[in-house]
Amino acid sequence: MSPDNEPPATPLIVHLIHRLDVGGLENGLINLINHLPPDRYRHAIVCLRDYSDYHLRIQRPGVEIISINKREGKDWAHYLRLFQTLKRLRPLMIHTRNLSGIEGQLLAAVAGVRLRVHGEHGRDINDLHGLSRKYRLLRKLLRPLIGHFIAVSKDLETWLIGTIGARPQRVTHICNGVDSLQFHPRLGPPAAIGPDGFLCEDAFVIGSVGRMAEVKDHLTLAQAFILLIAEHALPRDRLRLLIAGDGPCRQACLDLLRQAGMDELAWLPGNRDDIPQLMRAMDVFVQPSLAEGMSNTILEAMATGLPVVATAVGGNPDLVRGGWTGTLVPPSSPAVLADALNDYYQLPALAVSHGQRGRRRVLAEYSLNAMADAYLAVYDALAAPTRPMKG
């Protein structure tokens, strides 16, 4: 076959993110690539910083991962490196995510990338409620370059339209999906986890999973755990705390628990690769974030059949139906959080019913295939050739 008659190459989508490491956004990206039809698009992940072994979760062959190696603060040279990378890859489409990636829209336009998508998965750590004039101005200036926006929560969709000025027809709300086969309810006694003596007989395990960064506010969870024993008088021989994840706030949580004399009742093992197994050892799941887009870990907990106590911020109320699949509490309120956890301890049947309803909701509304189909519809609509207007 001559070069002129060769079939066109499968179009490439470049996914621009800050860093490929443990995190909800990154987990969602990998799930998306793994579940999109392999014959429709090729994929490359461009990291403004770098990447970790987390990329080994990608099951699809041929996904190029590139590090721009941006330095902290303003690194003007990284714009040139990003431009050169886009010129080399020559993608059909770029999909940037969050504030850290949105400037890539300008570089992509200059590099000739015709189709441009931007996703909002959660606001910046320094602007949890989207009120920064500087960041709003940046988004508004780049808005005309963006062909379509994707918001992972209703809260972010409303904000993009009402505050940033995106046209409603150019914004799609796409929920994250969860692997309901990997994350499933406990089928028998929980597997032995943690150090010797941690998972005692009849233990009531309060659990959480996520980056232990300030925005996730696991310190409030540790404070609530202490209150359950100190003020609610729950038995030390049954109550256990499990927080899987790593980050700058892990040591502060350990110190607080140690000062209260409760460190032997808690296990904070850092990052783990056995999250489904750990969740099946929990009795209730807590998401204490100060801000949230669409929490993958809440979905995973619901798929595991756990009742969820979450702060009423961001996309959490989209997932947790208070009094039906879990309980919503205000952020930074350890006493209120302790009250909610005490309810589940005192009323085991309530915990079971909320967990079962959460599992059913995940199966009905939050499958990985449904998520992939929704993204594919956005990509296909942008990539479709322009049709002539009738009349």
Find the mean pLDDT for residues 264-280: 95
How far is the CA of 379 from the CAs of 3, 138, 329, in angstroms? 27, 24, 37
How far is the CA of 101 from the CAs of 108, 111, 242, in angstroms? 11, 16, 33
Question: Which residue reads 């179009």 in tokens?
Answer: 11
pLDDT confidence band for 348 (50 / 70 / 90): very high
What is the three-class DSSP state of 202? coil
Q: Encoding tokens for residue 86?
A: 């886009």
Residue 79 in this model has a pLDDT that exceeds 50: yes
pLDDT of the residue at 8: 61
Tens digit of each residue's pLDDT (9 = 90 or more) over 175-200: 999 999 999 999 888 878 999 889 88
CA 144/CA 124 separation, integer angstroms:
21
Residue among 149, 143, 165, 30 nearest 97 (CA): 149
Cα 68 to the center of its chain, rounded Å: 23
Q: Using H for helix, E for strand and C for coil, what is the string for 325-349?
A: CEEEECCCCHHHHHHHHHHHHHCHH
Length of the chain: 391
Dihedral Cα 249, 251, 254, 256, nearest 10 deg:
-70
pLDDT of the residue at 29: 96
Residue 255 in this model has a pLDDT that exceeds 80: yes
- List beta partners, residue 267: 242
For 248-284, the DSSP string reads: TTHHHHHHHHHHTT-GGGEEEEES-S-HHHHHHT-SE
Pairing relationship of beta strands 171-173 and 148-151 according to DSSP bridges: parallel
Domains and CATH numbers, the chain: 7-177+368-383 (3.40.50.2000), 204-365 (3.40.50.2000)
Residue among 257, 346, 365 nearest 307 (CA): 346
Pairing relationship of beta strands 308-311 and 204-209 according to DSSP bridges: unpaired
Question: Which residue reads 């009905």 in tokens?
Answer: 364
CA 151/CA 174 separation, integer angstroms:
6
pLDDT of the residue at 6: 46
Residue 128 in this model has a pLDDT that exceeds 90: no
Residue 7 in this model has a pLDDT that exceeds 80: no
Residue among 106, 96, 107 nearest 18 (CA): 96
CA 77/CA 274 separation, integer angstroms:
39
What is the three-class DSSP state of 304? coil
Average pLDDT, the chain: 93
Find the mean pLDDT for residues 313-334: 96
Q: Encoding tokens for residue 211?
A: 């980056």
Find the mean pLDDT for residues 260-271: 96
Find the mean pLDDT for residues 138-152: 97
CA 59/CA 283 separation, integer angstroms:
31
pLDDT of the residue at 1: 35
pLDDT confidence band for 391 (50 / 70 / 90): very low
